[in-house]
Amino acid sequence: MFGAQFWRPCPLNRTGVSVLKLIPMGGLGEIGLNMMAVECHDTMFIIDVGLMFPEDYMLGVDYVIPDMTYAKQNVKKIAGIVLTHAHEDHIGALPYLLKDLHAPVFGTPFTLGLVRHKLEEYDLLGATALHAIGPGETLKIGPFALEFIRVNHSVVDGVGIAIRTPYGTIVHTGDFKFSRTCIEGMATDVSTFARYGEEGVLALMSDSTNVENSGYTVSDCEIAESLSIICQDCPGRIIIALFASNIGRIQQIVELAGKIGRKILFNGRSIEVSVNIAKQLDYLRMPEKMEIEIDQINQYPDDEIIIITTGSQGEPMSALARMAAGTHRQIKIRSDDTVILSSKFIPGNEKAITNIINDLFRCGADVIYEKIAKIHVSGHAFQEELKMMMRLTRPKYFIPIHGEYRHLVQHARLAAKEGIPKDHILLAQNGQVITFSPQGASITEQVTTGRLLIDGKGVGDVGRSVLKERRMLSEEGMVVVNMAFDEDTGVIIYGPDVVSKGFVFETETGHLLDDAQCVILEIVEDVPPEVPNRTDIIRSRIQTALRQYFFFTIGRRPVILPFIVVV
């Protein structure tokens, strides 16, 4: 238990009454970017600081993080950051928050293991206090007392949080499901959720990701059985791609390898990091001499090897992508290989994944994925499990979180069907402050939120205008005009040199660019040397005239970039 150093009484506001606020800064209206602040007057803690991967229109963007303006404006109030689990949509943006504030970070051991590795990369580890908290332990932050509750998810050490506040207990489910699991230590702690329900829950904040799916999630035991059947008769190597943090699935594969007499090779930087952390914490147990190194792969027959790797989402630089493209230095796909993609096709990644599947088939491998076999189970609760959470906790107020807006609406409707009064269902979006006071709960104000795009080392310097320019360049290409004028006479001494990039094949349509030169020369002749700001006028007219000319002749709108030098 962490105690007094984080405990402060909750001061009263000017009216003599303290208020409790929940401020979603990400994750309400989208998949990813999960970030929620909990505030009581002058004390605040943050639950999760996640990122999301770029959407198709975000050309060149590496990933997206929440706009953290509200947290940075209230940095003196922040007494801690609490993490529910180790997925990137919950911890990925943490370094960008810790660059601007120093607050202790709390999480389960595996979560902090991955956080520690991430902070090392950003040179923030030495300046950050990390505190491991296990399920069943209580953490005190100001007027709040937080108990971590074990939940079953697709990563080990996932937790929900029961938050005791001056107004009552708020339950945050984290990402969870209730389905039966055969993986040790990953079952959701039903009795603790029920205990809080009996004591009285002020509000339930519940994961909405899979609210559109009826019934219950598939059990992990069924996935283990399916993998066992597939792997029994594979003639050559078995290559299994999955999320690096899915230690439970990796443990199932290790146990399967022991039964069928195969060695395990881990390949891919992120999976090697996760596996090493899990082994250190004893969350992954492997028989001695089962694991082999990459340089030992040719020392064993193909039918004695399982390769566990990354790239299940079609990531272009992943180990699986390099195998499929034939560019992996040590592993070449062979005709008797069986490749299993043990993960869900995340929306937006379908094309990249199917391209890799096609390339693997071209190499002669047999490829098995979720559309043709039961080899993956979601880590998020389906409808019946969401209902079960409501029945266990019996909340006075219900707040759907973690999902696109349609998910939040569907979850709100599900709560209404479960008997929660509609005026006690708070359907909030990012930035909308949920306030609890003696008069009850309501959405009271709006704070600054949004998305910041990360491109290389740049944070937020890529906006809509830049993305629009990138889209135009990607779709239409560009035409560059280079010219030089004599300063005294205004006569052209170089050019016009017209260069096309991503627009047309110059050798095939050279006349198009030659005619463009004529258009430019006519413009120059029409603007006498004595005209003020002649260079700027010519530059503007070239852009307009070439844009019209190219659209008229070829139906395209390239970006026009005139570079004019006066010497």
Active site residues: 207, 380
DSSP string, 57-107: TSTT--EEEE--HHHHHTGGGEEEEE-----HHHHTTHHHHHTT----EEE
Strand partners, 479: 500, 560
Give the residue among 79, 91, 151 at the shortest CA–CA distance from 115.
91
Which H, E and C letters describe 209-241, residue by residue?
Answer: CCCCCCCCCCCHHHHHHHHHHHHHCCCCCEEEE
Question: How many Cβ atoms from other residues are within 10 Å of residue 294's Cβ?
Answer: 13
Residue 413 burial by Cβ neighbours in a 10 Å radius (0-12, 13-18, 19+) = middle
Nearest to 44 by CA among 53, 56, 34, 36: 36
Q: Which residue has the tokens 């207990």?
A: 169
Residues in the chain: 567
Is residue 67 within 8 Å of 451, Cβ to Cβ?
Answer: yes
What b/e readout covers 365-375, taking b as 16+ CB neighbours within 10 angstroms? bbbbbbeebeb
Token pair for 128: 């950050």
Count of CA atoms in the C-beta half-sphere (13 A) of 236: 16
Contact residues for 313 (Cβ-Cβ < 8 A; gap 6+): 343, 345, 346, 349, 352, 353
Supply the Cα-derived Rg of the chain in whole angstroms. Answer: 29
Amino acid of residue 460: G
What is d(CA 427, CA 167) in angstroms, rounded to the nearest whole number? 20
Give CA–CA dist 91/24, Å, rounded: 15
Q: What are residue 161's DSSP bridge partners?
A: 148, 172
Q: Which H or E run contains 565?
A: strand 559-566
CA angle (494, 496, 498) in 5-degree steps: 130
| Burial of 262: CB neighbours in 10 Å, binned 0-12, 13-18, 19+ | buried
Strand partners, 241: 309, 341
- Tokens at 120, concatenated: 């090392």
